Structure 1
Amino acid sequence: MMQTIDLRGKSLSASELRTAVPRPELDVTEALAGATALIQQVREHGEAGLLDQAERFDGVRPKAIRATAAEIEAAVANLDSAVRAALDEMIRRVRLASAAQVPAPATTVLGDGAIVEQRWEPVERVGLYVPGGKAVYPSSVVMNVVSAQAAGVKSIAIASPPQKDHGGAIHPTILAAAGLLGVAEVYAMGGAGAIGALAYGVESLGLEPVNVITGPGNVWVAAAKRAVTSVVGIDAEAGPTEVLIIADGSADPELVAADLLGQAEHDELAAAVLVTDSEALAEAVQPIVERRTLATKHADRAGVSLRGQQSAIVLVDNMAEAARVSNAYGPEHLQIQTADDDAVLEQITNAGAIFMGPYAPVPLGDYIAGSNHVLPTGGQAAHSSGLGAHTFLRAQQIIRYNRAALDEVRDRLRAIATDEDLPAHGESVDARFGTGREV
């Protein structure tokens, strides 16, 4: 039975709402020291450190950490035809949506001979992490790689944990997805050690350091990403996956229950939250969730998720309050199933991806909608966006002024420089007109 949180008749501030919404017990800080130690082991011992960590955490010692070109080609050749067709379509759709995220260059003319240009430059090299714990995620390969390629990144490395069932090699479907995307640099390494290897490089493997690391993972991966932010950029510190569904009395309780369960099957810490102003819907959903959970393959972990403190049915007075609760929560996935979805959408500010209506369930975004499924969790949607081409781009400004344009603004420039007690700033401009103080 999912817990019920009744917020009806309460006037809560934004901070009180953030406290009231359900959250998992997860503190990245607690894992930081351990993750840092694992990163240091890789920095000091390189390939040997990665092999030791694979044996310790993945239960297998890989024969080789870097996949060969022949292994990648074989994985593509042996890929199930239906899976290949699905991946090909996923790649096509995500490419189209990712290309739309690349800003066009722009030129601003501020005066005669005074021009500022805006351009977006991709980073040179990225490391993409693909988890491999309770499930295998070729879809994450697509989401990470296509976004980087859309941005124009030329050098891409993939890390994914070695699989005990495959003799310490990377899962063949992960390798096949990399092959379909033309990525030849794939490493069987996981957890914090993999993040450290991507950040600092491993010479014996030919693994050069990257500029940006992206991709979801467990708490150790999140902690490791935090630990290396002084040397690389990251997308976000991904936590357990989550869905928040805003629904009113018009919603189909069968679909709502199916969507809650669909998220809960990821793992025991996954969060499934329903926010509704309909007590009748809340009461109808509970037994359907129970029935569906008992019938599903991953009933044990889904049941733990749904009964956990991170999952709940939240009762509110109206849809405006439902939107307030959602914004306080900042969900990774937000589903809206109401009589007027767009009216609710207008009130939403914080969400990773938003799924509108009964025919846009979260799994659509996980796989083949064309959107990206690497999204901010744990309320990070209040300040961060999901993975996209923009993750791998840097905004750069190019300033072009001729002599006349500089002369037009130099008195104002000098006034500000003098006020800030930085006279050499003004002198560097005056020197171009032969009026600067001799030094």
Structure 2
Amino acid sequence: MEWIKDGNLDFLKKRKVEAKEEAQKSVASIISNVKTNGDAALKAYTKQFDGIELGSLRVSKEEMREAVERVPVAVRKAIQQAAQNIRDFHEKQMPASWTEQVEHGVVLGQKVTALDSVGVYVPGGTACYPSSVLMGAIPALVAGVKRVVLVSPPQKNGLIADGVLAAAQEIGIHEIYQVGGAQAIAALAYGTESIQPVDKIVGPGNLYVMLAKKHVFGDVAIDSLAGPSEIAIVADETANAAWIAADLLSQAEHDRLSMPVLVTTSQQFGELVEQEVNKQLQELPREEIASASVNDQGKLVLVADLQEAANVINQIAPEHLELATVDPHAVLPMIHHAGAIFLGKYSSEPVGDYFAGPNHIIPTNGSARYASPLGVESFVKRSSIIEYSNEALQINGQAIAAFARFEGLEGHARAVEKRLKGAVIHG
């Protein structure tokens, strides 16, 4: 890990992953092919990229039932409890429709409506992420989305991972297609013979999935353009070095480009964490990936006090932030930019990834400066309600017409003036 003791955070300029032109062209070609050739293109790409000859794209009820039975009972119970925690948390986010009557018979308000359909992308292939099913789909269901579709690439056995299907079964998602990559995003955006298009696409994925989401944005809504995972930890000498090292590695093992950062007021403590990271790396199954992340992206930032630590965090605007100080609640008000904030020594980042309830689909690459985690509000839209009485229009009409005419929009002005008693209509 690289030590930073002079406050220079130039490394932040380098964390955005720029896609090569070749990758962008490849994604554009895949999307065009799926739009033209539908299911045939999806099956051809699944054979090319995943080595799987697909029959039906859609997962059958029987396949789901068999998959659920193969998942250990303890894991099924964990999925069930996590799903309940996630639902309970997100139910508190539900925005409300409202109207109010103001003076002169004017009624104003907003109408909140759920999206009609949503596609949830769940990474797969060599991995299994039932947590991504829960985090992507449960807020949509709470919001009232009627059609929630799940897509995920098949494993080498030709089937979506058992845990993914078990999570889908637990929350009542039954429209599931065994297709991944840019081709799955294209199918969700534009539809094929088997897959009807959706209104919004959410969920994490690799570079090609991210590029595909970027390509289809505008024709369909997306959640974000996610980059590599990040964790920043603010810790003082009261923290446990072994625990902090383990938390840094929990994100480093995601990807070679993941960014683990420790911000500390104690050089001695930072050195202990560095030693622990190197020790624990040797025992980590994903040691090769985590080592690349730690060596290339890992930072140890030394600061004078917790106010400076907060200033550093606000510049990083990390995806995950742990406050492992003697009084984390005293630091919390200083934090303005972070996706998810974990308070205290027992609030390890994986608690949020899997179980606590808040969403783990969180802004990356500094976008926590302006973006929020996925939530119920991500799956609803607001319509404004405006009702003017005759009395209100007579009182305010001339002001409205004057405003419109000042902007050079005579038609707007006349549309109001035609309703005004005694008004002189220009032209």
Under a length normalisation based on structure 2, what TM-score does the superposition of the two structures give?
A: 0.95
Match of 2:387 among 375, 392, 400: 400
Partner in structure 2 of residue 69 of structure 1: 61
Distance in 2, Cα, partners of 1:84 & 1:140: 15
1:112 match: secondary structure: helix
The number of aligned residues is 425
Question: After superposition, where does 1:95-110 map in structure 2 within 5 Å?
Answer: 95-110=87-102
Q: Which amino acid aligns with 2:200?
A: V
Distance in 1, Cα, partners of 2:426 & 2:237: 79
1:134–1:267 contact (8 Å) kept in structure 2: no
Match of 1:279 among 246, 267, 280: 267
Match of 2:153 among 136, 161, 164: 161
Partner in structure 1 of residue 38 of structure 2: 46
Distance in 2, Cα, partners of 1:420 & 1:286: 62
1:213 match: secondary structure: strand
Distance in 1, Cα, partners of 2:142 & 2:395: 41
Q: Give the root-mean-square deviation of aligned CA atoms.
A: 1.8
Distance in 2, Cα, partners of 1:65 & 1:85: 29
Q: Does 2:416 match 1:429?
A: yes
Under a length normalisation based on structure 1, what TM-score does the superposition of the two structures give?
A: 0.92
Match of 1:189 among 173, 179, 185: 179
2:4 match: secondary structure: strand
Cα separation, partners in 2 of 1:158 and 1:220, compared to 1, 3 Å:
same
Distance in 2, Cα, partners of 1:249 & 1:263: 22
1:23–1:311 contact (8 Å) kept in structure 2: no
2:345 match: secondary structure: coil
Partner in structure 1 of residue 324 of structure 2: 337
Cα separation, partners in 2 of 1:102 and 1:339, compared to 1, 3 Å:
same
Match of 1:26 among 5, 11, 17: 17
Distance in 1, Cα, partners of 2:276 & 2:163: 34
Q: Which amino acid aligns with 1:253?
A: A
Deviation for aligned residue 1:405: 1.7
2:16–2:227 contact (8 Å) kept in structure 1: no
Match of 1:174 among 157, 161, 164: 164
Partner in structure 1 of residue 314 of structure 2: 327
Greater relative contact order, per chain length (Cα 8 Å cut-off, separation 6+): 1
Q: Does 2:401 match 1:414?
A: yes
Cα separation, partners in 2 of 1:430 and 1:25, compared to 1, 3 Å:
closer
Residue by residue over 1:319-359, the C-alpha shift from the partner in whole angstroms, topping out at 9 and shown as x without a partner, is 11211111111111111111221222111111111111111
Cα separation, partners in 2 of 1:216 and 1:55, compared to 1, 3 Å:
same
1:97 match: secondary structure: helix
Distance in 2, Cα, partners of 1:436 & 1:173: 71
Q: Which amino acid aligns with 2:3?
A: T
Distance in 1, Cα, partners of 2:50 & 2:301: 38
Partner in structure 2 of residue 219 of structure 1: 207
Partner in structure 2 of residue 268 of structure 1: 256
Distance in 1, Cα, partners of 2:370 & 2:60: 40
Question: Which consecutive residues of structure 1, in runs of 5 or more, have no partner in the other structure?
Answer: none
Partner in structure 2 of residue 149 of structure 1: 141
2:110–2:385 contact (8 Å) kept in structure 1: yes
Q: Which amino acid aligns with 2:18?
A: D
Partner in structure 2 of residue 313 of structure 1: 300
1:295 match: secondary structure: coil
Distance in 1, Cα, partners of 2:201 & 2:99: 31
Match of 1:362 among 349, 352, 359: 349
1:255 match: secondary structure: helix
2:16–2:365 contact (8 Å) kept in structure 1: no
Cα separation, partners in 2 of 1:60 and 1:70, compared to 1, 3 Å:
same
1:425 match: secondary structure: helix
Deviation for aligned residue 1:70: 2.1
Residue by residue over 1:8-32, the C-alpha shift from the partner in whole angstroms, topping out at 9 and shown as x without a partner, is xx5x6xxxx4x34485462146433
Residue by residue over 1:267-299, the C-alpha shift from the partner in whole angstroms, topping out at 9 and shown as x without a partner, is 222221111121011111111111111112222
Distance in 1, Cα, partners of 2:95 & 2:181: 33
Distance in 2, Cα, partners of 1:25 & 1:378: 6
Distance in 2, Cα, partners of 1:134 & 1:75: 16
1:109 match: secondary structure: strand
2:418 match: secondary structure: helix
Distance in 2, Cα, partners of 1:153 & 1:72: 22
Distance in 2, Cα, partners of 1:96 & 1:32: 40
1:269 match: secondary structure: coil
Distance in 2, Cα, partners of 1:25 & 1:125: 31
Report sequence identity in percent: 40
2:334 match: secondary structure: coil
Deviation for aligned residue 1:438: 9.1
1:313 match: secondary structure: strand
Deviation for aligned residue 1:76: 2.9
Partner in structure 2 of residue 296 of structure 1: 284
Q: Does 2:380 match 1:389?
A: no
Distance in 2, Cα, partners of 1:332 & 1:314: 17
Cα separation, partners in 2 of 1:250 and 1:22, compared to 1, 3 Å:
farther
Match of 1:90 among 71, 82, 89: 82
Distance in 2, Cα, partners of 1:344 & 1:133: 41
Q: Which amino acid aligns with 1:4?
A: W
1:210–1:232 contact (8 Å) kept in structure 2: yes
Match of 1:200 among 181, 187, 190: 190
1:330–1:350 contact (8 Å) kept in structure 2: yes
Distance in 2, Cα, partners of 1:61 & 1:26: 32
Distance in 1, Cα, partners of 2:333 & 2:385: 37
Q: Which amino acid aligns with 1:6?
A: K
1:244–1:273 contact (8 Å) kept in structure 2: yes
Residue by residue over 1:43-92, the C-alpha shift from the partner in whole angstroms, topping out at 9 and shown as x without a partner, is 12211211221122223222322111222233234432111111111111
Deviation for aligned residue 1:215: 0.3
1:83 match: secondary structure: helix
